[in-house]
Amino acid sequence: AQKITQTQPGMFVQEKEAVTLDCTYDTSDPSYGLFWYKQPSSGEMIFLIYQGSYDQQNATEGRYSLNFQKARKSANLVISASQLGDSAMYFCAMKSYGQNFVFGPGTRLSVLP
Amino acid sequence: TAGITQAPTSQILAAGRSMTLRCTQDMRHNAMYWYRQDLGLGLRLIHYSNTAGTTGKGEVPDGYSVSRANTDDFPLTLASAVPSQTSVYFCASMKVAGQGATGELFFGEGSRLTVL
């Protein structure tokens, strides 16, 4: 069975510092995609970044990067230069071909001024 | 572009009553999904539809039904609501092969349902 684990229910980071949100996954499929979504207090789900299982390089999108370690089955999200607006819930998700998305329980990030 | 529209945004419902959450997308995505979000559990899939005319059960389908009469609409019905169905419900859609697939899910803004 496919599973996403996010072991950090809550995280704090000082403004302008970098922070890493952990995500590990479990799948037997060789081809899959890994996603991160942000959910601010307003409630909407915002897509941040995508990593394919065959991608050779780690994905980056602005201040977001995905630290993909395939052998360890981890896909940690790194946010550089944290901003107050980064305070939100962050969800890691995975999708394999022919399977539906699986989401982790989320990590609540609080950015301190 | 509207993307995905959900209605209502919030509803209080008496236990035993029926309720339909509406979901409409204007992106012509083939696949659509209903999730519920509960604290500490993330998003759990209720039902999905890979294309118009087909539906499938997700992780937590009991007490819910869906239909997919056309590409754009994917309503979720609670036939007889119970308090454990109090949750935030998200409708989502996804591009699939042939539409420039990215695999990214597009979400509606959510419907907060309280069953008393």
Confirm or reject contact between B38 and chain A (CB < 8 A).
no
> Mean per-residue pLDDT for B14-40?
95
Among residues B79, B96, B106, B92, which one has the least CA distance to residue B36? B92
- Cα diameter, chain A: 44
Contacts of B110 (CB under 8 A, 6+ apart): A43, A44, A45, B6, B9, B37, B88, B89, B90
pLDDT of B25 higher than 80:
yes
> Mean per-residue pLDDT for A15-30?
95
pLDDT of A41 higher than 60:
yes
> Mean per-residue pLDDT for A34-62?
94
At A27, give phi and psi (nearest 5°). Answer: -155, 155
Contact B58 A33 (CB under 8 A): no
Distance of CA A102 to the CA centre of its chain: 12
> Mean per-residue pLDDT for B93-111?
77
Nearest to A100 among B48, B88, B110 (CB): B48
CA distance A51 to chain B (A): 10
Average pLDDT, chain B: 92
Nearest to B103 among A9, A95, A104 (CB): A95
Contact B90 A9 (CB under 8 A): no
Amino acid at A32: Y
pLDDT of A23 higher than 80:
yes
pLDDT of B66 higher than 90:
yes
> Mean per-residue pLDDT for A79-85?
97
> Mean per-residue pLDDT for A92-105?
90
**Residue whose pair of structure tokens reads 């980064």 in the numeric block:** A86
pLDDT confidence band for B97 (50 / 70 / 90): low
Nearest to B41 among A33, A101, A105 (CB): A105
Taking the C-alpha atoms of residue B92 and residue B53, their distance in angstroms, rounded to an integer, is 17
pLDDT of B40 higher than 90:
no
Pairing mode, if any, of strands A88-96 and A32-39? antiparallel
pLDDT of A96 higher than 90:
no
pLDDT of B101 higher than 70:
no
CA dist B49 → A56, B55, B82, B83 (Å): 32, 4, 24, 26
> Mean per-residue pLDDT for B53-71?
96
